[in-house]
Structure 1
Amino acid sequence: MRAGIEFTSESPIILPISYNHLIQAFIYQNIANYEIRQELHDTGYQVGKRRLKFFTFSKLNGRFELDKNLKQIKFYPPVMLKLSFYSDSKYDILSDIISNILKNNNLYIGENKVIVKTIAPENYNFTKNEYLIKMISPILLYRTEKKDSKYIRNYISPWDPEFKDLIHQNLKTKVNASGKEYSISDFTIIPMNPPNPGDGKIIGYKQFKVKAYFGTFRIKGDKQLLKLLYETGIGSGNSEGFGCFDVIG
């Protein structure tokens, strides 16, 4: 399930350049049911030691200015945020969030008071096995290595030979967590643009800095698997604001 939420404000919305954690906090704060909120935050969908939250969200979309000296981004309302949740969950979390924010007159993203202008459902019916997609939050994928008693993350670009194998490993974890039996063997994701260092963005999340990739891709695979990815995101860190995409063809 997905919805596009358009926010307005009486003044510009000022956020740190790396603001994903504030959007994630906004999502959790607006799950009205405390037990559901705690279960999603603390447990989610568990596979071994992995805990997947099975939701993702876009970057804010709207007119903005960057202030690199202050490390801030200033959005001029309205701005659009897309939220996407796994539809086969035992809880209808997205509906809970929408119901709550429509009743709440004190909504904040960070320290910015915002007002909901419009909410529109954006569910997509996957009738084919192949689509052109555009990332509306970047794909995050990495390999962890131990070096000098420390664990180092190596961030993988869509043009890296390891990208395919790591995507398939990530898919296997997601499918296992979903409890479904979707085929992943035929899944492919191909970047449509040539290698471009500008597509890789350094993004802060809390105390970490990660490298993730925007771009346009062609994906192919089982229709139900594609729906799962549409709702929960591609790659890693989905509930932290990575891997959300729109279908464009």
Structure 2
Amino acid sequence: MRVRAVFQGEEPVVLPWNYPHLLHGYLYGAIARANPEFGTFLHEEGFTADHRYKLLVFSKIFSKESKALPGGLKVTPPLTWWFSSPLDAPIEALVKTLVLEGEVCLGNIRLYVEKVEIEGIPDISGKMLCETISPVVASTGAKKEGKLVKRFLSPDDEDFRRVIEVNLLRKAKALGITFDHTININIEPVGKWRSRLFTVQGTNVKGYEGRFCD
């Protein structure tokens, strides 16, 4: 299920560059306020299949106008935000909080909820051109001087597709989805991808945005 939320504000606001971290905190807090039991499970355990997964994703914020400033990104409402999950529970909890509270606070920035809409399931049966709405992060670990160091992969790296494919198959396993045949996930970058540096839960990560076909 994928949901689109639209926020309003009285004037342009400046989102700090680490605002994805603020969105992350808001999202899990909002779920916990509407469904404390599931919120605790999601935060402390998650779904397992060799790794722990939250099975919940969200986009960056899209605006009518934006301008990069030294202290962050100046955006002009209305602001659009997407979040999605294959599970109903986190989506229902998040939508409930958005509707009942009617506002979202990101640090000292207060936004007002204008609308919350559930989007239809797209037809993905044929070949299509897709565009990311948040950076795609793919990484591998390598030992360096006895320590495990993460290496973030670009779409040009030969391991990029493999890492994404393994991640998707593990998440399918966590959902109890099994396949009786080999699945080949084909991701072909189209045009130039842009790198993005940001912070998630105190960790600096590097992701890439762009278009791809499957």
TM-score higher than 0.5: yes
One-letter code aligned to 1:6: V
The residue number in structure 2 matching 1:121 is 118
CA positional deviation for 1:170:
1.4
Separation in 2, partners of 1:209, 1:27: 19
One-letter code aligned to 1:58: S
What TM-score, normalized by structure 1, do the two folds share? Answer: 0.78
CA positional deviation for 1:209:
2.1
Asked if 1:43 is matched to 2:23, the reply is: no
CA positional deviation for 1:127:
5.2
What TM-score, normalized by structure 2, do the two folds share? Answer: 0.90
The residue number in structure 1 matching 2:94 is 97
The residue number in structure 1 matching 2:20 is 20
Q: How high is the sequence identity, in percent, across the aligned residues?
A: 26
The residue number in structure 2 matching 1:154 is 151
CA positional deviation for 1:206:
4.1
Instruction: Note the alpha carbon deviations across 1:88-132, whole angstroms, 9 max, x for none.
Output: x3x532122112221114531222111111222213243514321
The residue number in structure 1 matching 2:213 is 218
Separation in 1, partners of 2:144, 2:178: 36
Separation in 2, partners of 1:207, 1:184: 37
Q: Given that residues 30 and 94 in structure 2 are in contact (C-alpha distance below 8 angstroms), is that contact kept between their aligned partners in structure 1? A: yes
Indicate which of 199, 202, 214 corresponds to 1:204: 199
Instruction: Note the alpha carbon deviations across 1:56-87, whole angstroms, 9 max, x for none.
Output: 1111000222222x3x222221100001111x
The residue number in structure 2 matching 1:229 is none
One-letter code aligned to 1:54: L
Q: 1:8 to 1:39 in 2, by over 3 A?
A: same
Question: Greater relative contact order: 1 or 2 (C-alpha under 8 angstroms, separation 6 or more)?
Answer: 1
One-letter code aligned to 2:207: A
Separation in 1, partners of 2:209, 2:80: 18
The residue number in structure 2 matching 1:185 is 183
Matches within 5 A, 1:71-82: 72-82=72-82
Separation in 2, partners of 1:137, 1:184: 28
Q: Given that residues 172 and 184 in structure 1 are in contact (C-alpha distance below 8 angstroms), is that contact kept between their aligned partners in structure 2? A: no
* Structure 2 stretches lacking a partner, 5+ long: none
Q: Given that residues 21 and 200 in structure 2 are in contact (C-alpha distance below 8 angstroms), is that contact kept between their aligned partners in structure 1? A: yes
Poorly superposed stretches of 4+, deviation over 3 Å: none
* Structure 1 stretches lacking a partner, 5+ long: 220-249
